[in-house]
């Protein structure tokens, strides 16, 4: 982002926020969209969703995995955390053809639980017999020991999902978070223990003959320096903002700032083709 655009964004946001009530919230989605919210969003633990009305009065319901950060703006304050990527189109290839593979390296069968984002072009009922739908945005499947399966997506549609093994996508589970084949922004990948830990998940992202490894987390805590992992409770990578499932203090979070952490919490890519392998380790 150039200096003029950044300055204009900050001035515009400051005028909007300071011209309203004493505090607002900025809800930033993993896709890059920013919502200005007059009241603190309500978190529904049963559905793992945030519910809120934006400054224009439009009602929103976002899955927990769709929300990247939530920052409170107090009057007279514009924290650095609000200087995040704006919702502009990514430069580079748009006709992406990435595949997603699920791999079980354990010697016993496991259950994979998938939650799809509301904007995902692939949802539970689109996958036929691949998984058992438990709702429009949720399904699960059994992965046999030491096997891999491709998530059906022959048309390479936009995919937004969070996946956990042996426990639903909720408090207490390790999650693989995948945004792939995004036509409007970078593809974004991470392993998250923000809401807790139950399994070691690693992601291998291969494109152009190069493989990038994300994770695995070492456990519920101790992930400050693990590449591609959101630490426990650290909703904005280098800090804690309204952690829905508890936290262990900011000492668990990455060093630096949200926009420039010492060790990245997520991996962004914009290559045309590639494979994303979500791996459950023994």
Q: What is the domain partition of the chain in residue ranges?
A: 3-82, 97-280
Tens of each residue's pLDDT in the chain, 282 residues: 433 333 333 334 433 333 334 457 778 777 667 787 888 888 877 667 788 887 777 778 887 777 877 777 653 333 333 323 333 344 445 689 999 999 999 999 999 999 999 999 999 999 989 999 999 999 999 999 999 999 999 999 999 999 999 999 999 999 999 999 998 888 999 999 999 999 999 999 999 899 999 999 999 999 999 999 999 999 999 999 989 999 999 999 999 988 889 999 999 998 999 999 999 999
d(CA 151, CA 100): 6
Q: What is the pLDDT of residue 64?
A: 73
Burial class, 136, CB count within 10 angstroms (exposed 0-12 / middle 13-18 / buried 19+): exposed
- CATH code assigned to 97-280: 2.60.110
The CATH number of domain 3-82, selected from 3.90.180.10, 2.30.30.100, 3.30.9.10, 3.40.50.300:
2.30.30.100
**Identical fold, 3-82 and 97-280:** no
In this prediction, residue 13 carries a pLDDT of 40
Q: Note the pLDDT of residue 258.
A: 82
Q: What is the pTM of this model?
A: 0.71
Question: How confident is the model at residue 77, as a pLDDT?
Answer: 38
**What is the maximal distance between C-alpha atoms in the chain?**
59
pLDDT of residue 46: 66
What's residue 15's pLDDT? 34
Angle 195-86-262 from CA coordinates, rounded to 5°: 55
Q: Cα(220)–Cα(122) distance, rounded to whole angstroms?
A: 30
b/e code 159-189 from CB counts within 10 Å (16+ = b):
bbbbbbbebbbbeebbbbbbbbbbeebbbbb
Asked if 163 and 215 touch (Cβ cutoff 8 Å), the reply is no
Output the six-digit token pair for 98.
Answer: 């990435």
pLDDT at res. 3: 39
């Amino acid at each position: 982002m150039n200096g003029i655009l950044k300055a204009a964004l900050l001035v515009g946001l400051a005028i909007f926020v300071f011209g309203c009530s004493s505090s607002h919230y900025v809800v930033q989605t993993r896709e890059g969209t920013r919502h200005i919210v007059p009241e603190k969003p309500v978190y529904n633990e049963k559905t793992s969703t945030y519910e809120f009305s934006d400054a224009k009065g439009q009602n929103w319901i976002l899955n927990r995995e769709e929300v990247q950060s939530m920052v409170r703006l107090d009057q007279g304050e514009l924290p650095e955390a609000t200087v995040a990527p704006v919702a502009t189109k990514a430069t580079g290839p748009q006709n992406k053809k990435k595949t997603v593979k699920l791999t079980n390296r354990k010697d016993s069968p496991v259950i994979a639980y998938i939650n799809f984002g509301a904007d995902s072009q692939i949802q539970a009922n689109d996958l036929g017999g691949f998984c058992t739908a438990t709702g429009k945005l949720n399904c699960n499947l059994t992965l046999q020991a030491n096997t891999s399966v491709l998530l059906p997506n022959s048309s390479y549609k936009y995919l937004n999902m969070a996946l956990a093994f042996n426990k639903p996508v909720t408090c207490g589970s390790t999650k693989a978070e995948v945004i792939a084949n995004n036509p409007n922004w970078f593809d974004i990948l991470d392993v998250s223990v923000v809401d807790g830990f139950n399994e070691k998940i690693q992601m291998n992202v291969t494109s152009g003959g190069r493989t990038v490894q994300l994770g695995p987390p070492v456990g519920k805590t101790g992930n400050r320096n693990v590449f591609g992992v959101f630490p426990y409770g650290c909703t904005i990578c280098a800090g804690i903002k309204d952690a829905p499932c508890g936290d262990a203090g900011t000492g668990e979070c990455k060093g630096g700032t949200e926009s420039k952490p010492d060790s990245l919490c997520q991996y962004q890519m914009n290559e045309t083709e590639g494979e994303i392998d979500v791996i459950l380790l023994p």
